A and B are shown apart, each in its own frame.
Chain A
Amino acid sequence: MAEHLLEVRNLSVQFHTAGGTVHAVRNINWHLDRGETLAILGESGSGKSVSASAIMNLIDMPPGEITSGEVIFAGKNLLAMSDDERRAINGKRIAMIFQDPLSHLNPVFTVGWQIIEVMRIHGIAPDAARARALDLLKRVGIPEPETAMRKYPHQFSGGQRQRLMIAMALALKPDIVIADEPTTALDVTVQAEVLALLGELQKETGLGLLLITHDLGVVADIADRVVVMNAGEIVETGTPDEVYHNPKHPYTRKLISAAPGRGEMHEPNATGEPLLKVENLCKSYGSFKVLKGVSFTLQPGETMAVVGESGSGKSTLARALLRLDEADSGHAYWKGRDLLKMPAKELYRLRRQMQMVFQDPTQSLNPRMTVYQLISEAWVIHPEILPKPQWRPRVEELLTQVGLSPAHAERYPHQFSGGQRQRIAIARALALRPELIVCDEAVSALDVSIQAQVIALLDKLRRELGIAFIFIAHDLPVVRDFADHVMVMQAGECVEIGTVRQIFENPQRDYTRRLLDAGLDPDPRVQAARRMPKVQAGLEVG
């Protein structure tokens, strides 16, 4: 058998925590060949990043402990090497790019310095390093490389920052690049560009690419082989096509069936008095116009999805409607009354009819309050809704309604998983019997299978309680499954608005089409067909 570029054999890693020992990965085996893209697919807690951390010597020991296994690179076991030897390999022969480029780039140094640094530590002369850095910036598509060298990470966009990370990783022409969720924090169109860039660079240099991801779409787009992980173990290995079309393990099947975007589309038909009618809403921060006259109508019990890339004004729209931020001009009629002009007292009563669920339940739930306190707090603020003796039974009822157990009432948020926390946030929103819930990226931070469950829960609430939703999301497949109407936003303007079928099957505007095309399909065959025109378009741009 020919020697692999990199081989992980029988690796087991544990973490010793206050809550006991966690087996992060158990006896995992995989290998990577030259010129190949291997994807490790898994949800949070599956251990998909652990082997990469072991390869890069990034596991803090303690609390981590590598209990068995070896990582063979260039005929040698990395795990048996000294720290100095491994430092000589890191960045030079094996490089890594990370999920969130803003936090992974050092905020106080210029990007030029940071790219040059990796070459300096591996012994390249300053002038040569500088010249190479300029070349790299040019290659990854950063405009005005000379000026860019002197800029700081915060002065770039998200996509550009990831390009900078890629430039840094490629500086010394490594044999292997490890990319840990490289596009997760990026908008769909930017994600498509970054993946295309990674693919091209791999072809040019013949490096082995290890891609760690939770996204079936990313796997379908660029992986040659995929390793599926669950709970610290590899459950399945194969080509993306085999794994997607012929999954052998129940977990893989569950993961694939949870991928959103293939359900029945809703056909809204409500007429009559709208619940909310928004007209010409405008909002600026200083001279920057975030909302440039947005209008839409929402019927009771219906769901309006607001989609768009970051900076398009989606969240500002939600905040303006709830009057967390004051809009500059425009109207928003709630059952005929303009809520933007409502006096404070009336607004206070109205607030309980409109609730919000935020993206990150870890941050939006007070960590010092029990679930009971979190949910019943709404009745402390609006005491007329429910007399105190009924609080306890109602909390328990709500918990049951969102799929938790009444016994959970006395626990604190940190004792729950991410999906459960989002359920608590939903129960809290339901406490006031709202007629409208605004979900700001409410399922974006959740794993696919959890996401599917939470969407199913929201759908059930919508049917049973007749709640209307404003559903802000950047993830189009989820929107396709859940929404009645879709509003596409770009740079503070409504580009297109229509029923979910109109938008997804017959988009009228170029921007909407671009957005839909940039999305990745979990099916490798569909994705391959979709990719061809994109690559050609990319070549024209490049």
Chain B
Amino acid sequence: MGKKMMRRIVSSFFSLVALVVMVFFLSRLTGDPAALFLPIDATQEMLDQFRELHGLNDPLIQQFGRYVWDVLQLDFGDSIRKARPAIDVVLESFTWTLQLALITIALVTALAITIGSVAAFRPAGLFDRFVSLVSLIGASAPDFWIAIVGIVVFSITFGWVPTSGTGTVWHWILPVAVLFIRPFGLILQVVRGSMLTAFGSAYVKTARAKGVGNRSIIFVHTLRNAMLPVITVIGDQAAAMLNGAVVVETIFGFPGVGKLMIDSILQRDFNVILAAIMVTALAIFVMNLLIDIAYTLLDPRLRT
């Protein structure tokens, strides 16, 4: 198990290196940073000054070397717009995103697994049909639409929750709710399918023949077996959220990393973009490692 993890960590490290290379050169491909950053009517003098200041006159490879050296020391340079270290700006937003993602995923996981398992126990029963319908709608509804409808109904009409921003617990309700719906629908479908397969397995027959009760059959005997595909999907969904829930964060004015990236791209704040990509990539890499660990914990057959 330890060996497998080490291999995973090493190969992920190489992916991160490749990512650094790609991000740096791709961002340079979009054009001359000085021209992109400064206003369109900037004078030649201003351009030269900007280039001198940010070392843009050096050969590209030298710039890259300097960039890598800095990244290794966790120095992503300053945010050009905010005049503070880019990494600080990113980590601040990322903390918000992380909280949002963790709360949402925890809720999704708990509810989707419980409801999906119970629904699968009596397939095509009333509860199952209702749940399948709701989850299908949830999985297919576009989040920008749900977000806007949510604001119109709950913030404007009823005035129960604020429309946007952060500050109180109430500010979290709409973003979490909107972010919740799609992964919930999706994961519930996966749980249901996986549990259906598990209920058909031979070991369930053995459990019945032993006199095991229904609750224990669902939540002890089958659930752990059915979790492997579910964990993969949960990991995917969590990774997508860690990337920044761009739409939700933008609509609700939520200061997360998704919104930060969009803003930085519009403002050509390259250092922030690079830092944000590295931080989210690292987070996704940690996520995948956690999923691997969860896999081996759940299934003893993967431990050898």
Contact = CB atoms under 8 A, between A and B. Distances in A.
B13 to A, nearest CB: 26
Interface stretch (B75-83, B90-98, B163-171, B295-303): B295-303
Contacts of A58: 205, 208-209
Interface stretch (B34-42, B181-189, B210-218, B240-248): B210-218
B66 interface: no
Nearest to B204: A106
Contacts of A92: 211
A106 B210 contact: no
A56 interface: yes
A105 interface: yes
B212 A103 contact: no
Interface residues on A, range: 20 to 34
Nearest to A115: B210
A100 B206 CA distance: 11
A89 interface: yes
Contacts of B203: 103-107
Contact of B225 (A87, A88, A98, A108): A108
A104 B225 CA distance: 13
B201 interface: yes
A522 interface: no
B205 A98 contact: yes
B213 A104 contact: no
A152 B212 CA distance: 20
B216 to A, nearest CB: 8
Interface stretch (A117-125, A307-315, A398-406): A117-125
B143 to A, nearest CB: 35
A95 interface: yes
Interface string A153-194: 010000000000100100000000000000000000000000
B208 A106 contact: no
A57 B210 CA distance: 11
B210 A91 contact: yes
B72 to A, nearest CB: 38
A442 B107 CA distance: 51
A106 B205 contact: no
B206 A87 contact: no
B8 interface: no
B207 interface: yes
B221 interface: yes
Interface in A501-534: none
Nearest to B214: A83
A112 to B, nearest CB: 13
B224 interface: yes
Given A152-B300, A154-B300, A95 B213 contact: no
B202 interface: yes
Given A106-B221, A108-B299, A57 B202 contact: no
B225 A106 contact: yes
Contacts of A109: 224
B210 A121 contact: yes
Given A106-B221, A107-B299, A121 B213 contact: yes
B202 A100 contact: yes
A90 interface: yes
Nearest to A108: B224
A90 B299 contact: no
A96 interface: yes
Nearest to B299: A108
B208 A105 contact: no
A95 B208 CA distance: 10
A86 B299 CA distance: 31
Given A90-B211, A118-B211, A121-B211, A104 B298 contact: no
Interface string B171-208: 00000000000000000000000000000011101111
Contacts of A89: 211
A45 B221 CA distance: 29
A168 B210 contact: yes
Nearest to A55: B209
B301 A90 contact: no
B209 A106 contact: no
Contacts of B210: 90-91, 95, 117-118, 121, 168
Interface in B83-122: none
Contacts of A165: 206
Contacts of A57: 208
B205 A87 contact: no
A32 B206 CA distance: 22
Given A103-B201, A152-B301, A88 B206 contact: no
A98 B202 contact: yes
Contacts of A90: 208-211
Contacts of B211: 87-92, 118, 121-122
A58 B204 CA distance: 10
Contacts of A168: 206, 210
Contact of A104 (B206, B299, B300): B206
Given A106-B221, A108-B225, A95 B209 contact: yes
A57 B217 CA distance: 15
Contacts of A104: 202-203, 205-206
Contacts of B298: 108
Contacts of A122: 211
B202 A96 contact: no
Residue among B206, B211, B212, B301 with most chain A CB within 10 A: B211
A492 to B, nearest CB: 22
10 contacts: A87-B211, A91-B212, A95-B210, A96-B206, A103-B203, A106-B221, A107-B203, A117-B210, A121-B216, A154-B301
Given A90-B210, A117-B210, 5 more contacts: A56-B209, A87-B213, A98-B202, A118-B211, A121-B212
Interface of A: 56-58, 87-92, 95-96, 98, 100, 103-109, 117-118, 121-122, 152, 154, 165, 168
Interface of B: 201-203, 205-213, 216, 221, 224-225, 298-301
Q: Considering the complex of A and B, which 6 residue pairs feature the smallest CB-CB distances, nearest first?
A: A91-B210, A90-B211, A91-B211, A103-B202, A96-B209, A106-B203
